[in-house]
Amino acid sequence: MNQAQRRDFFATLKAHNPAPTTELNYSSPFELLIAVILSAQATDVGVNKATDKLYPVANTPEKILALGVDGLKQYIKTIGLFNSKAENVIKTCKILIEQHNSQVPENREALEALPGVGRKTANVILNTVFKHPVIAVDTHIFRLSNRTGLAKGKTVRAVEDKLMKVVPKEYLLDAHHWLILHGRYVCLARKPKCDTCCVTQYCDYYRDQQRRQSRSVS
């Protein structure tokens, strides 16, 4: 994919979804932070089911800390890795109270110092809450970026760095959500839905498939 195609690729995604956002339910930066910690190797739907019950009871660092690890587990036990996630969330609440006045910090270093928060989670918070033009590369974005030729790389970090270089500035803020949603619903891992995809004309994978098919016919 060349740079002109990258621009058209994002213009097309924008035309289909002008205001993309996360599918995690939240009503404060803290709620989103906890939801993102819980979402590691879990679906947004599964996390929403748990937080829909948790947040009406406890949606601040103080209130979740008061639940304690065992109390919190009762709300999140349907989510994978809930034991370690409960420990991390409680530790994170303590740090937020003691070091950040119970607020989510707008700072990568401080975010990544929280238990259960890595670079990807920090990027989600910086992008979605604080509107920093950064991209959190998850499995969907990694696959889509390599498959389409948008930003090829062998590691998640290599893809992130490439995306930061090649995504046109005007699309950088929302690129994260456009790419995740496209990877999640259209460019599926096993069977990409190329028949209904809106960006076929810019996609390296699609072009290769078409070439292969026309060779096998001739």
Residue 215 Cβ vs ligand SF4, minimum distance, rounded to whole Å = 18
Residue 1 binds ligand SF4 (CB under 6 A): no
The CB density around residue 191, as the number of other CB atoms within 10 Å, is: 7
Q: How far apart are CA 96 and CA 112, in angstroms?
A: 12
Residue 9 Cβ vs ligand SF4, minimum distance, rounded to whole Å = 9
- Residue numbers 163-192 binding ligand SF4 by CB under 6 A: 186-187, 192
Residue 9 binds ligand SF4 (CB under 6 A): no
User: Cα 180 from chain centroid?
Assistant: 6
The correct pick among 93, 104, 148, 174 for binding ligand SF4 (CB under 6 A) is 148
Which range, of 17-25, 38-46, 128-136, 198-206, touches ligand SF4 by CB under 6 A?
198-206
SS (H, E, C) 51-111: HHHHCCCCCCHHHHHHHHHHHHHHHHCCCCCHHHHHHHHHHHHHHHHHHHCCCCCCCHHHH
Instruction: Please name which of 168, 106, 110 lies closest in space to residue 132, comparing C-alpha atoms.
Output: 106
Calculate the alpha carbon distances from 106 to 13, 60, 109, 203 in Å.
28, 17, 9, 35
Which range, of 23-31, 104-112, 124-132, 194-202, touches ligand SF4 by CB under 6 A?
194-202
Binding site members for [4Fe-4S] cluster: 187, 194, 197, 203
Instruction: Please name which of 186, 131, 215 lies closest in space to residue 12, comparing C-alpha atoms.
Output: 186
The correct pick among 73, 85, 140, 147 for binding ligand SF4 (CB under 6 A) is 147
**169-185 and 3-16 are packed helices; what angle lies between their axes, rounded to 10 degrees?**
70
Residue 193 Cβ vs ligand SF4, minimum distance, rounded to whole Å = 5
The correct pick among 53, 193, 211, 212 for binding ligand SF4 (CB under 6 A) is 193
Residue 203 binds ligand SF4 (CB under 6 A): yes
The catalytic site residues sit at 120, 138
Q: Which stretches of the chain bind ligand SF4, using CB under 6 A?
A: 147-148, 186-187, 192-194, 197, 199-200, 203, 205-206
